[in-house]
Amino acid sequence: MNNDPYLELATKADGHHRRLETIEQKLRDKSGNLSDIRERLRKLETKVGDHSISAVQAKIDTVGTNLRTTDKRLTREAAELRRNVEALHRKIRVSSGLPRADFDNWQQEIPPEMIKSILAGLASAPVSAADVQQLRTKQERAKKKLADWDEAQRAAIRAARMLADMPPVAERAWRKEARTWLAFRDRGPRPVKDEERARRQRDDAARAHESAEVVAARSREADNSACETIRERIEEAISRDLILPTWFENALGQFPPTRPERIEPWLVAATNLVRYRLLADFHNQVHPYGERPEDSRLTAEYDQVVRRCAELRPS
């Protein structure tokens, strides 16, 4: 019996090493199998996940489409119901004999002369103060140019006299005075007409500016007075619950808005609507404002009225 402790220890170490190699091999095999299983699970998970997401997304899209379709249908039905209720409400009010608001006859409060004054302010394209200042600057330049010509003329006269009296030996001085005379001769005629034209343009522009300011001031005064009168009648009609004209209801509805922050814009739009009909001499009892006018004075007024009525009209 071999009692060599070193041999016994080496034998045991070799056995443990073989067992360790066996365990490591098994672990490698199991690790490969586990990795394969994990990869298969990941692919399956992805496949199932993609299928689930696609199905859910399809269902969401379908629900969204159905909701939009339903919303459009309900919107149309609500609008139609609102129109029917308004028509029925108007028939009931008319049949009950309630008084009607008059937004068409204004001859006493807003005479034709006032309307002409407002239109004159819309038509005027006044010369601005900046335009007058520009013409004034132009006139000052023309005036300076004239003064420079006169000064050059006086210098040329002095040069001519000195040339006449200068001795022949003063060649340098003679050349200097000769240059002064020749420079004046090349300046051309006296630019008095340019200065007169610039001064006349400045004066005409100043008078036009002052006249336009007077016309604009009178127009603003007449316009403000007319708008105050129109608004008072509209507010009275609303407070008395009068039946509004058909053309007015077609533009802004049967009733003013109930939300406080929308009442003032509605009253302003109503006032401007009546004002436009007065300025355009438009009397159609169904259409609020008619076609866009050819009169250049009223095109901007028309566009503003149409836009504001569209913004405030009940949908």
Q: Inter-axis angle of helices 112-123 and 260-280, to 10 degrees?
A: 100
Residue 250 falls inside a structural domain: no
Residue 271 falls inside a structural domain: no
Mean pLDDT (the chain) is: 78
Question: The tokens of 30 are what?
Answer: 């199991």
pLDDT given for residue 1 in this prediction: 47
Q: Which of 20-29, 133-142, 168-177 has the lowest mean pLDDT?
A: 20-29
Residue 116 falls inside a structural domain: no
Mean pLDDT of 200-208: 70
Mean pLDDT of 185-191: 79
Q: 247 vs 297, which has greater pLDDT?
A: 247
Residue among 248, 235, 312 nearest 274 (CA): 248
In sequence order, the 6+-apart residues with CB closer than 8 A to the CB of 153 are 184, 190
In terms of average pLDDT, the best of 54-58, 94-98, 293-297 is 293-297
Mean pLDDT of 176-181: 79
Residue 51 falls inside a structural domain: yes
The number of C-alpha atoms within 13 Å of 182 and in the hemisphere containing its C-beta is: 6
Q: Are 311 and 252 in contact (CB under 8 A)?
A: no
Share of the chain above pLDDT 70, in %: 65
Residue 261 falls inside a structural domain: no
pLDDT given for residue 279 in this prediction: 95
Question: The tokens of 51 are what?
Answer: 């299928």
Q: Which domain holds residue 35?
A: 14-97
Mean pLDDT of 1-27: 62
Residue 65 falls inside a structural domain: yes
pLDDT of 297 > 50? The answer is yes
pTM for the predicted model, two decimal places: 0.53
Domain count of the fold of the chain: 1
Residue 25 falls inside a structural domain: yes
Residue 234 falls inside a structural domain: no
pLDDT given for residue 245 in this prediction: 93
Give the span between the Cα atoms of 220 and 121, in whole angstroms: 7
In terms of average pLDDT, the best of 50-59, 129-138, 280-289 is 280-289
In terms of average pLDDT, the best of 81-85, 90-94, 277-281 is 277-281
81 — pLDDT class (breaks 50, 70, 90)? low
Q: 202 vs 226, which has greater pLDDT?
A: 226
